[in-house]
Amino acid sequence: MMGYLKGKSSQIIFERWANARFKYRNRSFWARGYYVDTVGKNTKKIAEYIQNQLKEDREYDQLSMDFEDPFKDYTIEKKRVNKRTKR
């Protein structure tokens, strides 16, 4: 069930905001796993889980490189070609 929700929601986000796909370079939009519990019962455990996820996300972001378009500043110079040939 969670896999379906995460998959469909990421598809909708990428459809509505196409630039997000370039930002995330076709990586997974959501974290790998998920945590389910009742709110209020284990508040401390939930807070620890969120902090751990934030730490893992920061570590993963340090390993990945941001995509930069290699042709961003590239311009093609048009050279004038003389149609007459010298003989």
Q: For residue range 19-53, what is the model confidence (pLDDT) as tens digits? A: 666 666 555 666 666 666 666 667 788 788 888 88
Kindly state whether residue 5 falls inside one of the protein's structural domains: yes
Choose between 20 and 59: higher pLDDT. 59
Side-chain-side CA neighbours of 52 within 13 Å: the count stands at 9
Assigned domain for 71 exists: no
Average pLDDT over residues 11-21: 73
Which residues are the active-site residues? 49
Range of the domain at 18: 1-29
- Report DSSP state, residue 44: H
Same structural domain for residues 23 and 44?
A: no
Q: Does residue 85 form part of some domain?
A: no
27-32 contacts, C-beta under 8 A, 24 or more apart: 27/64, 30/6, 31/56, 31/57
Query: 76 in a domain, yes or no?
Result: no
| pLDDT for position 48 | 84
CA distance 74 to 68: 13
In a domain, 79, yes or no: no
Average confidence score pLDDT of the chain: 69
Distance of CA 33 to the CA centre of its chain: 17
pTM for the whole structure = 0.30
In which band, very low, low, confident or very high, does the pLDDT at 77 lie, cut at 50, 70 and 90? low
The rounded distance, in Å, linking the Cα atoms of 3 and 44 is 25
Q: Report the domain count for the chain.
A: 2
Share of the chain above pLDDT 70, in %: 39
